Amino acid sequence: MANTIKPNSGHVPVTSAEEVRHFAGPVTDHTVAEILGIHPTMDELEIAALHARGQSGRPEKSVEELSGPAALLYDLLMQDEVYLSDER
Any residues with CB less than 8 A from the CB of 4 and at least 6 apart, and which?
Answer: 46
The proportion of the chain whose per-residue pLDDT surpasses 90, expressed as a percent, equals: 65
From first CA to last CA, the distance across the chain in angstroms is 18
Q: Rounded distance, CA 88 to CA 77, Å?
A: 15
pLDDT in tens, 6-35: 555 568 999 999 999 999 999 999 999 999
Region 44-68: what's the mean pLDDT? 79
- State which H helix or E strand residue 58 sits in: none
**5 CA to centre of own chain:** 12
Pair 2, 25: CB distance under 8 Å: yes
pLDDT value of residue 63: 65
Sign of CA dihedral 26, 17, 35, 49: positive
The domain spans of the chain are: 17-84
88: pLDDT confidence band, cut at 50, 70 and 90? very low
